[in-house]
């Protein structure tokens, strides 16, 4: 398979206008509507800044919901730093159907994954695109995936409040946001920007997840606050959004994600996944209400 | 002072074209050349992803170089998550001269700071701009600061390889890159993108700094690898760039930066600053060679 078979690659995506799958933006919009119509709930996992573990939280939430019996899709739309393929152990390029649709990769009985990384041949290559080109690629990418029937689509959004999360939000207007942060003030000031971003574009917010919480000292078991503590709940209260819970810091999560074993997180990092389970419960309560 | 006095604010910056300081892009280019002509060395501190502690490393490096006797400027150009003002304890808006130049804030005998945050009235407000508008703001912002004579200008670049680092790199073409990463594989795959980004735009790379290295267990003093270890040096070797050193993980750095006390990092987190000192030595070696 060559890059030319890939609908979202720079040279036949929105970047240079030579669309292989669809000539007009009307076709693209129809593709997107069709692709999203069979998905009951879309969750956009966002963060004001990178490095807060947004991809690990997205992966954990997707695995947890699948284990609870839901049909789940997991998608990353980060052109500059796509990492879900690595975290979920999806290697190589994705399969493409005859009519140029991307087939999501099945990693668990009820969990499928699509990462932008799987559409790039050299994963070390920097992608240097200006805003409008990226927006076209994101729209085409979302529209070209064949998901089938899903209960949940978890979308790992690019960090920040720039072009990329804006394009994702505009492409999937009925998505609800789950915002991830770490406990310290610098990250929380960024999260307040994310909340205001959602308000500005009229996206509903499920709530805030505080990641990288207490780390249990390997000597005495006492929880250590590596990145301070309590900031997530305080910000949720101040900004009047739901607090979904604190996830502990666990080097075993870092290791499992690095090794591409996130699908087995329940075995590798049980206390982390127990906390994710509680977050998943609150997410289900929100979408069912 | 009102927002209207601020050259880089959304409504009189490059965003909507109503430039208060300069009507033409030729004027802007002259401003930039003049502003940068008195600065001997420009260092662009980059990272492939956010959350690797790039701002703490930028702050630490600037404080260290100032303590070593150099005249230093510290600038952040992150429209979506500017954090240097908070880290350096710079409060309120910056002063503007009669001819609409931004005055850098003196935080130490030999250290001045300018952060985009100081030009935004409500620091919680999300900035939602498309690429080209941001590029104009960044160029104007860099050109409108009065630095005076400096030995080093440390520029805390926006994370990733998108519009913003590209605009900064194009605005300051003689800058050299210092790339920051954490030790684990996911971050390192992003850093390889940063290195390729520098190669693509012909920017010289001083080397790679590995942040969030070993954390000394508070019970037994044994170093714990929270984010794995050794990845930075391995990537430097593989990508044929210099390895500038590993900085330890220290919750006291998180706390000092959150409290706006980064200028006193040497007292708050001596082992972190000792490691930064070794990095600073290698930077000086590079620029003097």
d(CA B175, CA B125): 30
CB-CB neighbors (< 8 A) of A220 in chain B:
219
Do A258 and B185 make contact, defined as CB atoms within 8 angstroms?
yes
Q: Which residue did the predictor score with more confidence, B84 or B118?
A: B84
What residues have CB less than 8 Å from B254, skipping those under 6 apart?
A184, A226, A227, A228, B56
The residue of chain A nearest to residue B167, with distances taken between CA atoms, is A130
Alpha carbon separation from A64 to A114, A178, A248, B234 (Å, rounded):
17, 15, 16, 34
The pLDDT of residue A93: 77
Do B184 and A123 make contact, defined as CB atoms within 8 angstroms?
no
C-alpha B270: how far from its chain's center?
A: 21
A191: closest CA of chain B, how far (Å):
8
List all residues of chain A from 24 to 53 with a beta carbon under 8 Å from chain B.
48-52
Q: Please check the confidence at residue A68 and state whether its pLDDT lies above 80.
A: yes
The string of pLDDT tens digits covering residues B126-150 is 666 566 667 777 777 778 888 889 9
Q: Which residue did the predictor score with more confidence, B67 or A168?
A: B67
Give the pair of three-digit tokens for residue A74.
Answer: 């997991």
Q: Which of A80, A218, A255 sits opposite B161 (nearest CB)?
A: A80
- Buried b / exposed e over A97-123, threshold 16 CB at 10 Å, is eeeebbebbebbebbbbbbbbbbbeee
Q: Which residue did the predictor score with more confidence, A15 or B232?
A: B232
What is the CA angle B84-B88-B91, rounded to 5? 90
The pLDDT of residue A188: 78
The pLDDT of residue B8: 40
Q: Would an 8 Å CB–CB cutoff place B230 in contact with chain A?
A: no
The pLDDT of residue A10: 36
B236 pLDDT tier (thresholds 50, 70, 90): very high
DSSP codes, B45-70: EE-SSSSSSHHHHHHHHHHHHHHTT-
Q: Please check the confidence at residue A78 and state whether its pLDDT lies above 80.
A: no
Query: By mean pLDDT, which of B32-46, B71-85, B236-250, B266-280 is the weakest?
Result: B71-85
Q: Please check the confidence at residue B56 and state whether its pLDDT lies above 80.
A: yes
The pLDDT of residue B129: 59
A36: closest CA of chain B, how far (Å):
25
Q: Are strands B105-108 and B215-216 parallel, antiparallel or unpaired?
A: unpaired
Q: Please check the confidence at residue B48 and state whether its pLDDT lies above 90.
A: no
Q: In the A/B pair of chains, how many CB contacts fall below 8 A? A: 175
Query: Average pLDDT, stretch B211-226?
Result: 92
Mutate to test the interface with A, among B76, B124, B257 (most CBs of A within 10 A): B124
Query: Average pLDDT, stretch B36-47?
Result: 93
Q: How much is the CA Rg of chain B, to the nearest whole Å?
A: 18
CB-CB neighbors (< 8 A) of B184 in chain A:
254, 258
Q: Which residue did the predictor score with more confidence, B83 or B28?
A: B83
The pLDDT of residue B80: 65
B2 pLDDT tier (thresholds 50, 70, 90): very low
The pLDDT of residue B4: 39
B193: closest CA of chain A, how far (Å):
4
Q: Please check the confidence at residue A162 and state whether its pLDDT lies above 70.
A: yes
Q: Would an 8 Å CB–CB cutoff place B54 in contact with chain A?
A: no
Do B50 and A159 make contact, defined as CB atoms within 8 angstroms?
yes
């Amino acid at each position: 398979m060559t890059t030319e078979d890939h609908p979202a690659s720079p040279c036949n995506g929105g970047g240079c206008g030579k669309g292989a799958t669809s000539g007009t933006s009307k076709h693209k919009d129809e593709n997107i509507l069709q692709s999203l119509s069979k998905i009951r709930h879309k969750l956009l996992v966002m963060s004001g800044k990178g490095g807060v573990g947004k991809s690990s939280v997205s992966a954990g939430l997707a695995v947890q919901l699948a284990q609870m019996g839901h049909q789940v899709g997991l998608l990353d739309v980060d052109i500059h730093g796509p990492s879900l393929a690595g975290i979920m152990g999806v290697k190589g390029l994705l399969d493409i159907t005859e009519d140029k649709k991307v087939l999501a990769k099945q990693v668990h009985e009820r969990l499928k994954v699509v990462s932008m990384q799987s559409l790039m041949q050299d994963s070390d290559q920097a992608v240097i695109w200006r805003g409008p080109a990226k927006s076209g690629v994101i729209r085409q990418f979302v529209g070209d995936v064949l998901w089938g029937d899903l209960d949940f689509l978890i979308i790992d959004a690019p960090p920040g409040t720039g072009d990329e999360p804006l394009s994702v939000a505009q492409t999937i207007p009925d998505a609800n946001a789950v915002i991830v942060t770490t406990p310290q003030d610098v990250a929380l000031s960024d999260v307040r920007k994310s909340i205001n971003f959602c308000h500005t574009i009229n996206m509903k917010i499920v709530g805030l997840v505080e990641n990288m919480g207490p780390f249990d000292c390997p000597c005495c078991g006492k929880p250590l606050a590596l990145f301070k503590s309590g900031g997530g709940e305080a910000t949720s209260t101040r900004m009047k959004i739901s607090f979904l819970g604190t996830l502990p810091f666990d080097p075993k999560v870092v290791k499992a994600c690095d090794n591409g074993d996130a699908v087995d997180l329940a075995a590798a990092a049980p206390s982390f996944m127990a906390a994710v389970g509680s977050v998943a419960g609150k997410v289900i309560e929100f979408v069912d209400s």
